[in-house]
Amino acid sequence: MKRSANAQWKGSIKEGSGVVSTQSGVLDSTQYSFKSRFEEGKGTNPEELLGAAHAGCYAMAFSLMLGESGYEPDSIDAKAEVSLEEDGDGFSIAKIHLKVKASIPDIDEDKFQKLAEKAKEGCPVSKVLKAEISMDASLS
Render pLDDT for 105-137 as a digit per residue (tens, 0 to 9): 999 999 999 999 999 989 999 888 676 767 666
User: CATH no. for residue 57?
Assistant: 3.30.300.20
* Residue 22, domain extent: 1-44
**Its pTM surpasses 0.85:** yes
Please give the angle made by the CA atoms of 64, 103 and 111, to the nearest 5 degrees.
60
The closest alpha carbon to 68, from 119, 19, 113, 108, belongs to 119
**Number of domains the chain contains:** 2
Asked whether residue 63 carries a pLDDT value surpassing 50, the answer given is yes
pLDDT given at position 100: 93
Q: Which residues pair with 78 in a beta bridge?
A: 100
Neighbours of 39 (CB within 10 A): 8
pLDDT tens column, 6-37? 999 999 999 999 999 999 999 999 999 999 99
Contacts of 24 (CB under 8 A, 6+ apart): 3
Q: Are 61 and 123 in contact (CB under 8 A)?
A: yes
Residues 53 and 80 in one domain: yes
* Whole-angstrom distance, CA of residue 139 vs CA of residue 118: 43
Q: Is 135 inside a domain boundary?
A: no
Helix (H, G, I), strand (E, B) or coil at 129: helix
Q: Is 102 inside a domain boundary?
A: yes
Q: Of 44, 61, 78, which closes a domain? A: 44
Q: Is 3 inside a domain boundary?
A: yes
Query: For the residues of 62-83, what is the DSSP string, one character each?
Result: HHHHHHHTT---SEEEEEEEEE
The closest alpha carbon to 58, from 72, 79, 42, belongs to 79
Q: Is 91 inside a domain boundary?
A: yes
